[in-house]
Amino acid sequence: MPSTAYRLGAVLCATVLGPLVAGCGGGGADDSAKPSAIPAPPGTSAAPAPSAPPSSSASSGPALPEAADGTDLRACADSRCEVEVRAGDKITFVGDSSRLKSFTVVRIAGDTLTHKAAGPPGYSFSGSMSASGTSVVNGLKVKIVAVVGDRAVVNLS
């Protein structure tokens, strides 16, 4: 029969060392790959933070560069501007009656902008331009900066 001192030592050893040994895993040959369980601080959740949703620009393809005058077609009244346009946009010019009166975007498809322009009374022009193209219509220089989808950035001078 074991002595009282031996039994007290065994109980003390089991009480102190038992939880330490139980927390070591010891069940598999390689426990180093298992994440350690660290309790979360009080008042916080131990659940992982949700991942951020994917950026819309990453999934929507190339972005149209920002135009110096944004979408303000009135900035083009003096025939000098850089604006973002869509089909149906009409730019009206003021000033020299020998130049154009208006420039209208008829269609944007693929990398092509189709337009019509009205000049002095009785004159009209129409045509198409490819992306990064430049055209001169009755003294107005029109440069396509970029085309993305149904929008384009054009520079007029």
113 contact partners, CB below 8 Å, separation of at least 6: 85, 105, 107, 128, 129, 131, 144, 147, 152, 154
The angle subtended at Cα 97 by Cα 138 and Cα 69, nearest 5°, is: 70
The Cα 21–Cα 16 span in angstroms is 9
Instruction: Answer yes or no: pTM beyond 0.75.
Output: no
Q: What is the pLDDT of residues 107-141, one digit of tens each?
A: 999 999 999 999 888 889 899 999 888 988 888 89
- State yes or no: pLDDT of 3 exceeds 60: no
Q: What is the pLDDT of residues 31-51, one digit of tens each?
A: 444 444 455 555 544 544 444
Of 132, 154, 148, 153, the closest CA to residue 60 belongs to: 148
